Every structure is written in C-alpha cells, then in structure tokens.
Amino acid sequence: MARGRHRLLLLLLRYLLVALGYHKAYGFSIPKDRETVTAIEYQEVILACNTPKKTTSSRLEWKKLGRGVSFVYYQQALQGDFKDRAEMIDFSIRIKNVTRTDAGKYRCEVSAPSEQGQNLEEDTVTLEVLVAPAVPSCEVPTSALSGTVVELRCQDKEGNPAPEYTWFKDGIRLLENQRIGLQSTNSSYTMNTKSGTLQFNTISKLDSGEYYCEARNSVGHRRCSGKRMQVEETSFQKGSSASKATTMSENDFKHTKSFII
C-alpha cells in the first residue's frame, strides 16, 4: 500500500512538471534572485551562473526574461547580437559592450542526466545599466514682462539613475536656496533640482541674462547651450517710473531755488 502511494506521488509530481514544461526534470529547483549586477553603458560586465551542480555533461542555456523569453546562449552558442560582443567564461557570460537595451532579468538553466532522468538547476540575475545624461532640452523664453511669473524648464530622458538639474545665469551657478539680497538676480525664484524647473515668482529686469541648465548623475553630466532672456517693463511701469523721476526732479528744483533765496 505504501509503495503504491509513493508511486502515485511520483506520477503526480511528474505530471505537474510536464504541465509546467519541464519534461523529465526531476530534482527541479525554484529559481531565485541571487543578485543585481550594475554596469555602466559601453563598458563590460559578467553575468555569473551560480548553480550548485555543474559537470562536464551538463547542458547550459541562458535566457533573457521579459514580456517574451529570448535565447542568449543556446546549443553551445551565443545568440543574436551577443555573438559579436560577448563570450562564455565557464557557465558565465562576459558582455564586452553593454547597452541600455541589455538591462533586464536573465536566467541560466543547467541540466544534467541523473538516475531519475534530468536534473535541472536554475539561477537568475538582474542587470541594471547606468547611463550618463544626454544634452538636456532647455526651454528659456527670449522675453518676459517684469512682475509676471516665468518658468524655465530643463529635461533629460536618457540618464539612469535620473539626473539632478542645476541652472546657471551668465556662467554663474544659481543656488537652490537663493540668498536674500543677491544682486545678480531676483531673490524670488524657486529651483527644483528633481524636475529641472526654475520659476521666477515676480520676475524683474535684474533677471535678464543668459541661462543654461546642467543635468548630472553618478555616471556623467551634460549641459545645454545658453539662451538669453530679456525682461522688459510694461508701458504702465515705464510711465510710473518716468512720473517718479519727474516728481523728484521738480522737488529737487524747488529745494535748490529756496536754498538760493
């Protein structure tokens, strides 16, 4: 009775393995994430297969996982574009020229014959590719009216990790937390180093100048070309300034006349 129950359990296990696509794969081990490997784009990296059982009779396959599964190493040969820029080192893959499209999860499968059929071991590794920022796109208005709200934008879509942004005016770096009373620019701006925006709450003529932005992450940094922004006063502001100047001139004249008398 016990022998029959044991045989029934083996048959059930075999049925489950076949249903999952592992034909004659006894001793199957569940794949697990052992590590995440980080590489800089255009440099090299080694994806190690850390399965415990490797013999001369073992059969090795590497696959890249995602929406679909693609072969990287199959039938003792590298596949696709890996043929021209990768090599096998034992059971590991050395990629000589990593690209951002290589990022993702990889699985190595090592199978070997055993007394029960095929013994299958699996291991997974995640490859993260670090990418330097490209030249960011910078939006700087050519003109603005004094007293209005003006926003300058800077963005890079390629950097990994996501870059931080810094703005410069006339070659001088603008502080994230500006100092009150800074003479070269209006003290009412807000800089967001994460989103890349530089916002003037009430822009003034002092804010006229050439602006450019720099995107920076742990891999590198790039900046856009400088663009000039000219801040003009409205006709009302100009009239108000002229009126004040006239009043001051008249008062000065009266004061001088009374002094002479």
CB 84 within 8 A of CB 95: no
Mean pLDDT check: name the lowest of 107-116, 156-165, 221-230, 232-241: 232-241
- Measured CA to CA, the distance from residue 85 to residue 157 in angstroms comes to 26
Higher pLDDT, 248 or 52: 52
Q: Domains in the chain, please, with CATH?
A: 23-130 (2.60.40.10), 137-241 (2.60.40.10)
Full-model pTM = 0.70
Element at 4 (helix H, strand E) = helix 2-19
185-235 confidence digits (pLDDT tens): 555 899 999 999 999 999 999 999 999 999 999 999 999 999 999 999 876
Ramachandran bin of 243, using left for φ above 0, alpha for ψ from -120 to 50, beta for the remaining angles: alpha
Q: What is the reported pLDDT for 187? A: 58
Q: Please give the mean pLDDT across all residues of the chain.
A: 79
Band of residue 120 on the pLDDT scale cut at 50, 70, 90: confident
CB 39 within 8 A of CB 45: yes
Higher pLDDT, 53 or 242: 53
